[in-house]
Chains A and B, each alone.
Chain A
Amino acid sequence: MSAEMPNSTQHEIEHDVRAHPGAKQYLVIATILTILTAGEVAVFYVPALASVLVYILVTLSAAKFALVVMFYMHLKFDSRIFSGVFLAPLALAVGVVISLIILFRVLPQI
């Protein structure tokens, strides 16, 4: 089907959309996800890291989230419109979580 497309359309596709990763790259991502998960559980058991545990865990969790969304859900390779449709509500959801935590947990203690 791809071979039947006009050159201009083919060019648009190549410009906006790149080929998805192959099995090898998927395995590499899975390995990184496993290592990050093991790291999360490991730091949970280190008392010396208790004061910075929140920052470490949120960073590792965000990295895992980004890897799955970019590589397994193909947002890194697909049209940017899909990224916008997902990231806008995600930003709103994160904003709601942070706002409510500030309103109900931080401000009452000030």
Chain B
Amino acid sequence: MNHSAAIPVPHGAPHAETATGLDTWKLGFWTFIGSETLFFGSLISTYMVYKGRSVAGPYPHDVLNIPLTSVSTFVLLMSSLMMVLALAAVQRGDRRGTLTWLMATALFGATFLGFQAFEFTHFYGEGLTLSSNLFGSSFYVLTGFHGAHVTVGVIWLLALWVQALRGRLGQADALTVEIAGLYWHFVDVVWIAIFTLVYLLE
């Protein structure tokens, strides 16, 4: 086992001052992620129920661009790698590594958003709007909420980067980066489900 990622207090380590013995912030954030799972579960359910029931076009096969979305999916997956490398860097007190990987994660996230903006613009040009049919309504709501989550994540990462630049994000603040990482990876796993259910299972 590689112990290079070890920090002064291991994550999830018992904290004598809490009833669970766990860090309350992290436990609370996992609870929030659980609620977000239900939120996206309801949006995915809605999309799946209305799938193929539009009485007027454009239909999914008319507009969805699998090669383009595959690239954006790869970009988001790689951003998750950057995020864990940022966490590993902050855990070992590597300021330069922290700055590099946090910025890389934010840039990859922004690139994903660029793909999504291009896709939405293209779809709109093809006549697919939020109110054009059931596909448009359920597609834009689902992917739009995901995109909003990515946007929040990018802003969060940039805020951490500024903190790191000012020397206020040291080894002792590793949990702060880990919590941001949990959010970022959650956004990634939601996209893993969306890519399969919305794009590949047309």
A binds B: yes
Which residues of A are at the interface with B, using a C-beta cutoff of 8 A?
A: 1-2, 9, 12-13, 16-27, 29-30, 33-34, 37, 40-41, 44, 53-54, 57-58, 60-61, 64-65, 68-69, 72-74, 77-79, 81-82, 85-86, 88-90, 92-94, 96-97, 100-101, 104-105
Interface segment, B54-62, B134-142, B147-155, B189-197? B189-197
Which residues of B are at the interface with A, using a C-beta cutoff of 8 A?
A: 1-6, 8-14, 16, 20-22, 26-27, 30-31, 33-35, 37-38, 40-42, 44-45, 48-49, 66-67, 70, 73-74, 77-78, 80-81, 83-85, 88, 91, 178, 181-182, 185-186, 188-189, 192-193, 195-197, 200-201
Across the interface, do A81 and B45 meet the contact criterion of CB distance under 8 Å?
no
Instruction: Determine the residue in chain A with the shortest Cβ distance to B194.
Output: A61
User: Which secondary structure characterizes the binding site on chain A?
Assistant: helix
Across the interface, do A72 and B12 meet the contact criterion of CB distance under 8 Å?
no
* Cβ 8 A contact of B81, one of A30, A40, A89: A30
A29 vs B13: C-alpha distance when bound (angstroms): 24
Most buried by A among B14, B42, B74, B192: B192
A13 vs B16: C-alpha distance when bound (angstroms): 12
Across the interface, do A81 and B27 meet the contact criterion of CB distance under 8 Å?
yes
User: Which secondary structure characterizes the binding site on chain B?
Assistant: helix
Across the interface, do A81 and B22 meet the contact criterion of CB distance under 8 Å?
yes
A3 vs B41: C-alpha distance when bound (angstroms): 43
Give the chain A neighbours of B26 by CB distance below 8 A: 82
Across the interface, do A72 and B84 meet the contact criterion of CB distance under 8 Å?
yes
Across the interface, do B192 and A61 meet the contact criterion of CB distance under 8 Å?
yes
Across the interface, do B13 and A53 meet the contact criterion of CB distance under 8 Å?
no
Give the chain B neighbours of A34 by CB distance below 8 A: 74, 77
